[in-house]
Amino acid sequence: MDEAERQSLEAELQEQLQQEHQERLAKTGTRARRGVNRSEEYERMVVAKELRERFYEEHGYVRYTNSRGETEWLLPDEAERRQKSRRRRRKSRKKHSAQAPVDREPFSGRTWALLAAAALFLSVFLGYFVLRG
């Protein structure tokens, strides 16, 4: 890269950085102004929310709360599709959680040893009484 290209590239990058700086200053200025008018901003949000809800209800949309707890406005067929999907997932989850895990070996090695010792003791005890009596 020769010196002329380098200078033009530096000038271009300097211009971009200056533009980004101006944008950041503009954003912080609007943030500062917004802080003063928080009550007005809140009122605007409330009015916008009410207007949005009224509009969606008039046009037949259905309020749907998704898995993250967010409220969405959906067309009735889309809401029904999501409800069916949710029901299917819940049924599947319940079905799998209700099943106990299959235990391949009901007794451990320690249990088998105790059972064998008890059987041996019982057979010796019974043998003693049979031979004695």
Residues 31 and 42 in one domain: no
Q: For residues 110-127, give the mean pLDDT.
A: 93
- Tokens 């320690």 correspond to 110
- CA dist 125 and 132 (Å) reads 11
Cβ atoms of 74 and 81 within 8 Å: the answer is no
Full residue range of the structural domain in which residue 79 is found: 37-89
Cβ atoms of 47 and 55 within 8 Å: the answer is no
Residue 116 has pLDDT above 80, yes or no: yes
Residues 42 and 80 in one domain: yes
| pLDDT tens track for 67-108 | 899 989 899 999 899 888 877 776 666 666 656 555 566 678
User: Can you give the pLDDT at residue 115?
Assistant: 92
Beta bridge partners of 106: none
Phi first, then psi: what are they for 71, rounded to 5°?
Answer: -90, 130
User: Can you give the pLDDT at residue 37?
Assistant: 74
- What value, to the nearest 5°, has the Cα angle with vertex 67 and ends 63 and 71? 30
| pLDDT tens track for 17-65 | 899 988 888 887 766 666 667 788 888 899 999 998 999 999 899 998 8
The domain tally of the chain equals: 2
